[in-house]
A and B are shown apart, each in its own frame.
Chain A
Amino acid sequence: MCVPTQSAETRKYIKLFIQSAIVMNTPSLELVCPAGTPAALKDAVDHGADAVYVGFRNETNARNFPGLNFSADELAEGITYAHAKSCKVFVAINTFARAGASHLWHQALFDAERLKVDAVILADLGLLHYCHRTYPNLRKHLSVQASASNVESIRFYQKAFNVKRMVLPRVLTVSEIANIYHKTHAELEVFAFGGLCVMAEGRCALSSYATGKSPNTSGVCSPASHVHYEKQGEKLISKLGEFTINVFESHESAGYPTLCKGRFIANGKPLYLFEEPVSLNTISILDKLKAAGVCAIKIEGRQRGRAYVAEVVRSFRAALDNPEGSLLIPATQLSTISEGQTETVGSYERGWR
Chain B
Amino acid sequence: MKSFLTLGPLLFNWDIKKIREFYFKIADEAPIECVYLGEIVCSKRAPFLEPVLQELTERLKQAGKEVIYSTSVLIESDKELENSRTRVQAWANGLVEANDMAAIHFLLGKPHCIGPYINVYNEEALLYLTEQGAIRVTLPFELPQTSIAALSQAQNRANLELQVFGRQPLAISARCAHARAYGLHKHNCQLICGQDLDGMAVLTLNQQPFLVVNGLQTLSYTYCNLIRELTELQNLGVSYFRLSPHHTHMVEVAHVFRNVLDQKYEGEEGYRRLQALLPEASFSNGFYKSEAGYVNRGKG
| Chain A residues within 8 Å of B, Cβ to Cβ | 96-100, 102, 123-127, 129-130, 146, 148-153, 155-157, 171-172, 176, 179, 198-200, 202-206, 208-212, 214, 216-217, 237, 241-247, 260, 263-267, 269-271, 273-275, 347, 350-353
Contacts and interface: CB of A to CB of B under 8 A. Distances in A.
A97 B121 contact: yes
A209 B212 CA distance: 12
A149 B143 CA distance: 24
Given A149-B74, A216-B121, A264-B202, A210 B151 contact: no
Given A156-B101, A171-B174, A216-B140, 11 more contacts: A100-B147, A102-B122, A125-B119, A176-B77, A203-B74, A205-B140, A208-B292, A264-B204, A264-B210, A273-B177, A353-B175
A203 B126 CA distance: 17
Interface residues on B, range: 35 or more
Contacts of A242: 208, 292, 294
B161 interface: no
Nearest to A274: B177
A260 B104 CA distance: 29
A175 to B, nearest CB: 9
Nearest to A175: B77
B16 interface: no
Interface string B136-176: 00001111001110110010000000000000101111111
Given A200-B173, A273-B181, A151 B186 contact: no
Contacts of B200: 266-267
B285 interface: no
Nearest to B126: A126
Contacts of B290: 212
A264 B85 CA distance: 37
Contact of B122 (A126, A156, A212, A270): A126
Contacts of B146: 99-100
Contacts of B140: 205, 216
A198 B173 CA distance: 6
A99 B142 contact: no
B86 interface: no
B280 interface: no
B75 A204 contact: no
Contact of A273 (B85, B122, B202): B202
Contacts of B126: 126
A-side binding surface: helix, strand, loop or mixed?
mixed
A274 B216 CA distance: 10
Interface string B210-229: 11010000101000000000
B213 A273 contact: yes
The list of the 9 closest CB pairs from A to B, nearest first, reads A126-B124, A152-B102, A126-B125, A99-B150, A209-B293, A171-B174, A96-B121, A100-B150, A153-B101
A214 B119 contact: no
Given A203-B117, A216-B142, A274-B173, A96 B122 contact: yes
Contacts of B211: 206, 209, 264
Contacts of A130: 124
Interface string B111-141: 0000001011111111111000000000011
B204 A243 contact: yes
Nearest to A156: B105
Contact of A265 (B76, B101, B202, B295): B202
5 contacts: A97-B124, A123-B119, A150-B81, A199-B173, A266-B181
Contacts of B249: none
Interface in B169-206: 170-177, 180-182, 185-187, 200-206
A39 to B, nearest CB: 33
Interface in B208-262: 208, 210-211, 213, 218, 220
A243 B204 CA distance: 7
B175 A150 contact: no
A168 B168 CA distance: 26
Given A99-B150, A124-B121, A200 B174 contact: yes
Contacts of B186: 353
Given A124-B125, A155-B105, A243-B210, A205 B293 contact: yes
B286 interface: yes
B142 A124 contact: no
B80 interface: yes
B288 to A, nearest CB: 12
B227 to A, nearest CB: 20
Listed residue (A124, A148, A209, A260) with the most chain B CB atoms within 10 angstroms of its CB: A209
A150 B210 CA distance: 31
Contacts of B203: 264-266
A214 B140 CA distance: 13
A217 B142 contact: yes
Nearest to A125: B125
Nearest to A352: B175
B176 A217 contact: no
A98 B81 CA distance: 31
B74 A200 contact: yes
A345 to B, nearest CB: 13
A129 B124 contact: yes
Listed residue (B105, B174, B201, B295) with the most chain A CB atoms within 10 angstroms of its CB: B174
A260 B176 CA distance: 13
A247 B287 contact: no
Interface string B51-88: 00000000000000000000001111110110001000
Contacts of A275: 175
Contacts of A97: 121-122, 124-125
Nearest to B142: A205
Contacts of A176: 76-77
A144 to B, nearest CB: 13
